């Protein structure tokens, strides 16, 4: 009798919980649509104000046993003014950069601004620059649940790649094959539809030109974003790691990009 009552109570609890979730959670399609609309929206530009942060990049190559064989770190001071980003190299491997290296980095940054920083190319949407609607629509999504991150509730979705569209250009062949093997999870803020976290990995290994040029056995990607007190969402950390082979050499790499020390400053017009 006690067992029957326990089973009945458990069944009722599960039914009520499932009904509650279905009433409070939008459909997966609505969640994805909200994310896409947020990515396409235009962030407010503040004339005469620059958003500044520190960006630290660490690139490592690893031995077969996981030991670090080479490590390179670069620290930048990044400023975004009226939607245009500039990055100034301030340290290499915890030391001030030689003048030649600093000038080289400034030249690369200037060339990038000239190529992408025209009015038509000024950042006009929110979120991680490499994530847009076309990328979001390349995956299928499945509801997982809710999760709280830094005091904010998020929708959690699992994603897996759709079949690669036929007729895509050869220039995108490698990226297309990589995307077609990705799977993982997204965390999307329930209030503002901002992407808060991405965890992705290769579902299976794949070869480049039948394995003659390269082979990628493993890849992981993690992106973390957070909300500042002024309401802006910013990138906090990106981590990615590869394991594979290039021609006849094993390839193990790890990259981490951290952005912190966010602040807003006043800039002189012109």
Q: Give the pLDDT confidence of 15-30 residue by residue, as tens digits.
A: 434 333 444 678 999 9
The model's confidence at residue 215, banded by pLDDT at 50, 70 and 90, is confident
For residue 255, being part of any structural domain is answered with yes
Q: What is the DSSP string of 17-85?
A: HHHHHHHHS--HHHHHHHHHHHHHSPPPP-TTEEEEEEEEEEEEEE-TTS-EEEEEEEEEEEEEETTEE
3-class secondary structure, 264: strand
For residue 5, being part of any structural domain is answered with no
Check whether residue 137 and residue 208 sit in a common domain.
yes
Residue finishing a domain among 124, 158, 190: 124
Check whether residue 212 and residue 100 sit in a common domain.
no
Q: Give the pLDDT confidence of 122-140 residue by residue, as tens digits.
A: 444 455 556 788 889 899 9
Contacts 24+ apart (CB under 8 A), 202-210: 202/178, 203/160, 203/161, 205/244, 206/177, 206/178, 206/181, 208/174, 208/177
Check whether residue 142 and residue 185 sit in a common domain.
yes
Check whether residue 133 and residue 239 sit in a common domain.
yes
Domain count along the chain:
2
Check whether residue 31 and residue 69 sit in a common domain.
no
Check whether residue 134 and residue 229 sit in a common domain.
yes
Check whether residue 173 and residue 63 sit in a common domain.
no
- Looking at per-residue pLDDT, the higher value among 62 and 106 belongs to 62
For residue 174, being part of any structural domain is answered with yes
Task: With a cut of 50, say whether residue 6 has pLDDT above it.
Answer: no
Check whether residue 119 and residue 138 sit in a common domain.
no
**Token reading at 259:** 């952005």
Confidence (pTM): 0.78
The model's confidence at residue 142, banded by pLDDT at 50, 70 and 90, is very high
- Please state, for a pLDDT cut of 90, what percent of the chain lies above it: 44
For residue 14, being part of any structural domain is answered with no
Alpha helices, DSSP H, located in the chain:
2-24, 28-40, 99-116, 133-136, 173-179
The model's confidence at residue 266, banded by pLDDT at 50, 70 and 90, is confident
- Looking at per-residue pLDDT, the higher value among 239 and 100 belongs to 239
Check whether residue 92 and residue 146 sit in a common domain.
no
Which of 84, 94, 146 shows the shortest CA–CA distance to 114? 84
Check whether residue 32 and residue 140 sit in a common domain.
yes
Residue finishing a domain among 124, 150, 183: 124
Interatomic CA distance for residues 256 and 247, integer angstroms: 25
For residue 153, being part of any structural domain is answered with yes
- Looking at per-residue pLDDT, the higher value among 221 and 179 belongs to 221
For residue 267, being part of any structural domain is answered with no
Range of 9-13, 91-95, 183-187, 201-205 with top mean pLDDT: 183-187
Check whether residue 105 and residue 180 sit in a common domain.
no
DSSP letter (8 states) at residue 204: S
Residue finishing a domain among 124, 149, 178: 124
Check residue 118 and give its pLDDT: 46
Check whether residue 36 and residue 159 sit in a common domain.
yes
Task: With a cut of 80, say whether residue 208 has pLDDT above it.
Answer: no
72 lies in which domain range?
44-124
């Amino acid at each position: 009798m006690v067992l029957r009552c326990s089973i009945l109570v458990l069944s009722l609890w599960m039914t009520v919980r499932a009904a509650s979730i279905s009433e409070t959670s939008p459909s997966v399609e609505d969640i994805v649509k909200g994310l896409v609309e947020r990515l396409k929206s235009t962030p407010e530009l503040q004339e005469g104000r620059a958003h500044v942060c520190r960006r630290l990049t660490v690139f490592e190559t690893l031995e077969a046993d996981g030991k670090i064989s080479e490590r390179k770190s670069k620290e930048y001071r990044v400023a975004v003014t009226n939607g245009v980003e500039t990055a100034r190299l301030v340290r290499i491997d915890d030391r001030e950069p030689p003048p030649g290296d600093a000038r080289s980095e400034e030249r690369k940054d200037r060339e990038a601004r000239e190529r992408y920083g025209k009015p038509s190319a000024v950042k006009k949407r929110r979120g991680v620059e490499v994530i847009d609607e076309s990328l979001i629509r390349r995956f299928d999504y499945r509801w997982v649940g809710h999760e709280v991150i830094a005091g904010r509730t998020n929708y959690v979705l699992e994603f897996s790649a759709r079949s690669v569209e036929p007729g895509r250009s050869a220039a995108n062949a490698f990226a297309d094959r990589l995307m077609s093997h990705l799977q993982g999870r997204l965390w999307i803020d329930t209030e503002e539809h901002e992407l808060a976290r991405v965890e992705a990995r290769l579902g299976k290994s794949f070869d480049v030109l039948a394995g003659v040029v390269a082979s990628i056995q493993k890849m992981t990607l993690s992106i973390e974003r957070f909300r500042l007190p002024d309401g802006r969402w910013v990138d906090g950390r990106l981590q990615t790691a590869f394991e594979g082979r290039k021609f006849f050499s094993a390839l193990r790499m790890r990259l981490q990009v951290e952005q912190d020390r966010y602040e807003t400053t006043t800039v002189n017009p012109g």
